[in-house]
Amino acid sequence: MSVSIAIPKERAQDERRVAISPAGVQILVEQGIRVVVESNAGCFCNFHDQDYAEAGAIIVTSPEELYPQANVIVKVSPPQPEELQLLLPGQMLISAVHLGTVSRQMLKTLIDKNITALGFEFIETRDGELPIVRTLSEIAGSLAIQTAAKYLETGYGGSGILLGGIAGVPPAHVTIIGAGTVGLFAAQDALGLGAQVTVIDKEINRLRRFEAFFNRHLVTAIANEHYISQLAKMSDVMIGALSPKLKLNKPLVSEQVVKTMKPGSVIIDVSIDQGACFATSRHTTHTNPIYVKYGVTHYCVPNIPSAVAKTATFALTNTLLPFLLKLNAHQTIPEILWNSHSLRKGTYLYKGYITKKILAELTDLPFREIDMLLATA
């Protein structure tokens, strides 16, 4: 199909990223894809309208002018209520979904408008890798340690401990819940600073891989109630880094366990956008990132990578571009989805149906398998 991509300015609270950098736009334009960018879309990343114009994009001044000019909308955060009204029937939407806060009304509106929607959380390669999730998880893992170090400081109400310690003074103890990509990068940065690190996970094979990768420089334990309660008492920092593929019925760390943590210790719940890892977690923002409960500082910002908007935008562009270029290879949406495993896997709304069971369960909206819908197209 003749592809035209619209890149709006993000309107979700504290979302400072933009879906595609000017360099990414240039690659799309060179491949014959028309790109329309809303004015100031990249302002928080220090990307100017002129940068996008020089890359070949058409600049428009408002979302009302932007949305009608494209058949594919590419953005970072899920559409806000005011943006939903601007989507046109039959358009394709590519963005994050945020399972932890997904709105039934948003999905119902998209269904009513016959939108084909793809989610960052669902785009998957043939080997089971979630490339966009992985990229953003790498950033979130590193930032989790950077953030924890800050909130351990006395001036922020922390226990006043230097994460890595110094000669003669022991370092902080960091417990990471989840041996996935977030956990890997958090462990790497924590060890690099000199902290004591324990990683817990329900799967023994993931822990074996961590032990081998870090040459046994960290401690691993199975994520059961016994180890979680023991580690909570001794940890200065606990990081919730559960995989988005993991479907939790309840938080892994109970309120009673959080109560046993040391005063001035820090919780970073990276999993908050998919569902809380700690029973005491609730959503915070970059503007108001923390609150204290039971003497423990909680940082539960769902879009952590937005704190480094420019790096995150470059990373997102690098990962997203190959999938956007596939849109140009076929004439119709059914052909695109049939011929791209990744885009088919990434689709969560098609032909008026939810195509991901987890979303249907969360919202009680009608579900059909994507393959079945494509077969009858």
Q: Is 274 helix (H, G, I), strand (E, B) or coil?
A: coil
The counts of H helices and E strands in the chain are: 15, 15
User: What is the side-by-side strand order in the sheet with 219-222?
Assistant: 219-222, 196-201, 173-177, 237-240, 266-269, 296-299, 290-293
- Closest C-alpha to 66, from 111, 108, 18: 18
Q: What angle do CA 217, 223, 226 make, to 5 degrees?
A: 105
For tokens 């046109």, the residue is: 88
The CA-based angle 53-117-36, given to 5 degrees, is 10
Tokens of 228: 């979680």
Residue 112 is a catalytic residue: no
Beta bridge partners of 297: 266, 292
Query: Can you tell me the distance from the alpha carbon of 304 to that of 283, in angstroms, rounded to the nearest whole number?
Result: 12
Task: Calculate the alpha carbon distances from 63 to 36, 41, 264, 279, 306 in Å.
Answer: 11, 10, 44, 38, 21
Which residue in this structure is represented by tokens 């417990």? 175
Active-site annotation holds for 98: yes
Q: How far apart are CA 299 and CA 276, in angstroms?
A: 12
Residue ranges in 194-247 assigned as alpha helix (H) = 204-213, 225-234
Tokens of 302: 């769902």
Instruction: Name which of 323, 312, 318, 345 is nearest 5 in CA terms.
Output: 323
Taking residue 51's Cβ as centre, other Cβ atoms within 10 Å add up to: 18
The catalytic position among 14, 236, 269, 273 is 273
Catalytically annotated residue among 98, 173, 189, 269: 98
Candidates 93, 20, 17, 51; CA nearest to 347 is 93
Helix, strand or coil, per DSSP, at residue 74: strand
- Give the N- to C-terminal CA distance of the chain in Å, as an integer: 16
| Whole-angstrom distance, CA of residue 263 vs CA of residue 266 | 9
Backbone phi and psi for residue 63, each to the nearest 5 degrees, phi listed first: -65, -30
The catalytic site residues sit at: 98, 273
